[in-house]
Amino acid sequence: MTLNTYNKEDKILLAVDCIIFGFDQEELKILLIKRNFEPEQGKWSLIGGFLKKEEILDEAATRVLQHLTGLNEIYMEQLHTFSKVDRDPADRTLSVAYYALIDLSQPDKNTLLKESAKWFTLKDAPKLIFDHNLMVERAMARLRRKALSKPIGFELLPEKFTMRTLQKLYEAILDNKLDKRNFISKFNSLDILIKLKEKDTSSSKKGAYLFQFDAEKYKRKVEEGFSFKL
């Protein structure tokens, strides 16, 4: 088969859409952008773009994310390919969705390059264009599964955090109120946190001890057969 044979095949656009989650130590949020072109101009959308000839998909997703937020080296994972024939009224378009996790407690990670972009809490997020709401639902389902089986939640936290912040994160991800005593006991039994001598005194005079995720210890434990389960 020669390359000329491909001229007889249908040409289909390939898009990349990014579901960007952030955590501000209180609530789980999603980054959306107001669309400035048709179709659906003026409505809220996930941030996206099209794959360029010289790119692989991961590079395209990184470019799209960096263009919107100015951030590099954040957690990102390919989610699913959406291929419904009429999903985009403008043209036949497939979309490969990615989700990314950002810690919003750091000032340099909360700056947007585009004025039309805005953080929404998940419960207050507006209806999105095309099948973007379905993408968000798929991303949340994946995030919940991962949070229960891997320490992925730490990607949404600052380097140092309190147990209260960690619990609020998991409550936000799981959309469920957790018992404080059971939650602390479970994480202590996993033995993957470092308790620091420092305290966070922002919420009380007594303060709360700060912790760090011990990535090296977790890696060693996994090599030994350890399984992270909440």
Instruction: Please report the DSSP string for 121-159 in residue order.
Output: EGGGPPP-STTHHHHHHHHHHHHHHHHHHSGGGGGGS-S
Which H helix or E strand runs over 18?
A: strand 13-23
Which pLDDT tens digit goes with each residue over 15-30? 999 999 999 989 999 9
Q: Domains in the chain, ordered, with CATH?
A: 3-149 (3.90.79.10), 159-223 (1.10.10.10)
Strand ranges, E, within 157-217:
193-200, 208-213
Which pLDDT tens digit goes with each residue over 39-72? 999 999 999 999 999 999 999 999 998 888 888 8
Which pLDDT tens digit goes with each residue over 150-160? 999 999 999 99
**Band (113; pLDDT cuts 50, 70, 90):** low
Residue 23, SS3? strand
> Cα–Cα distance between 30 and 119 in angstroms, integer?
6
Measure Cα distances from 48 to 2, 58, 198 in Å. 33, 13, 41
